[in-house]
Chains A and B, each alone.
Chain A
Amino acid sequence: MGTVSSTHAETPSGRSLWIELPDWPGNIAGQHVDVRLTAPDGYQATRSYSLASSGSAARVQLAVDRLPDGEVSPYLVDDLQPGDMLEVRGPLGGWFVWKEEQTQPVQLIAGGSGVVPLVAMIRAHAASGSTAPMQLLYSVRTPEDRFFADELSALENVTYAYTRSGPTDARIGRLTKEHLASAVLPPGAAVYVCGPTGFVEAVASWLVELGHDAASVKTERFGGA
């Protein structure tokens, strides 16, 4: 059981939450948690959310995008307040993770709120002092829809692919194979792709067509409510 310590509006439809978890065993960058909500009549709803944080601290950060038909995400984005209790189980998942002993270059590719576990990797990479190159390609609708915008703006190795609107000098529109080819590290890099299913399917297929070994492309998709 955790306690919400702070919330921060990230985008028009999403926000991040810091949750104090006294018994948290720590987590690896890229892992997720299950969040369970319980209504007064005992009804429960559970969903998985990626963590933007990693390491041994007894608090974690989630970032949640409000899904229009969602049941849990609207509560987390609109209703939850600092001081509220929240049931959190984890850490979960041992596949879509980055560890500091990895030495090969890393290409992160995010679609929308899929950036959350990749931010955990960027932070873990910076904290570890790793000399492995790491860069992020972030596909997002508009600049206002970027999660962790200030933090990412301060970094050099982040490029954006805006799908709806963006700076006048930017290419606007859905990511294409050609754009992807020009924006990511060449084959040999460890690649992490996270986003909506259609985005991940397209990007992962293009990566293989561009010569990336399928075994070096790790994917995580989200869907559902």
Chain B
Amino acid sequence: MSIFTRGFSGRGRDDNPALPPGQYLTEDFPVLSAGPTPNVDTDHWEFTITTESGAVHKWNWEQLMALPSEDIHTDIHCVTRWSKLGTTWRGVSLDTLFAEVETEYDYVMEHSYGGYTTNLPYEDIRDGKAWIAHTFEGEPLDPEHGGPARMLVPHLYFWKSAKWIHGLTMMKDDDPGFWEQNGYHAYGDPWQEQRYW
């Protein structure tokens, strides 16, 4: 149980039902990264899905752009407590990219240019829940926010939406990724406040 903090009344109550517990609204788009922003050129960009059979499904930038893109209107929630409501993205659904992929494994590791990794269950990137996003608010995605393309898995805390996405590897077990090894929760549901382990 918590006790009251002497003399603290708080600012306006953000009693917006779109705001998960412990989050506050921001109009900015803050950045959370562990290191320098990698310079990823679309001429050499490549995205792969690797399965347990060793099969590697590969797309270059041109091939990604030739796939149908969708508009995504969504709220995003960062573990560092800011939430940004009503953002608009454009990207390719993971359902489209997995259409020809055969796998029995239940977990996925996201790999980024720059070496960052993050893990999540396979079902969390299927059925219209995840995209490779290349456009933010009508503009090509900024490198600082993960451009040229990042994962977008908005129902989880935003560190699960890996910037500078390079590939997905199917995993038998839910092995921890980068932040998950460094204190953050394996799953990261903002509505359950799954911030840390």
Q: Is A87 an interface residue (CB 8 A)?
A: yes
Q: Is B17 an interface residue (CB 8 A)?
A: no
B86: chain A residues at CB < 8 Å are: none
Known A71-B10, A204-B35: A87·B24 in contact at CB below 8 Å? no
In Å, the complex CA distance between A85 and B2 comes to 11
Q: Is A22 an interface residue (CB 8 A)?
A: no
Whose C-beta in chain A lies nearest to the C-beta of B8? A37
In Å, the complex CA distance between A218 and B2 comes to 35
Most chain-A Cβ atoms within 10 A of its Cβ — which of B13, B36, B80, B182?
B36
A47: chain B residues at CB < 8 Å are: 81
- The total of chain A residues at the interface (CB under 8 A) is 41
Q: Is A205 an interface residue (CB 8 A)?
A: yes
A-side interface mostly: mixed
Q: Is the CB of A204 within 8 A of B5?
A: no
In Å, the complex CA distance between A29 and B71 comes to 43
The list of the 4 closest CB pairs from A to B, nearest first, reads A204-B36, A223-B30, A94-B182, A37-B5
**A residues apposed to B, CB below 8 Å:** 1, 36-40, 43-48, 71, 75, 79-81, 84-87, 92-96, 197, 201, 204-205, 207-208, 214-215, 217-219, 221, 223-225
23 contacts between A and B (CB under 8 A): A36-B2, A37-B5, A37-B8, A38-B5, A40-B4, A44-B22, A45-B11, A47-B81, A71-B24, A75-B5, A80-B7, A93-B183, A95-B34, A95-B178, A197-B31, A201-B144, A204-B36, A214-B36, A219-B35, A219-B36, A223-B82, A224-B81, A225-B24
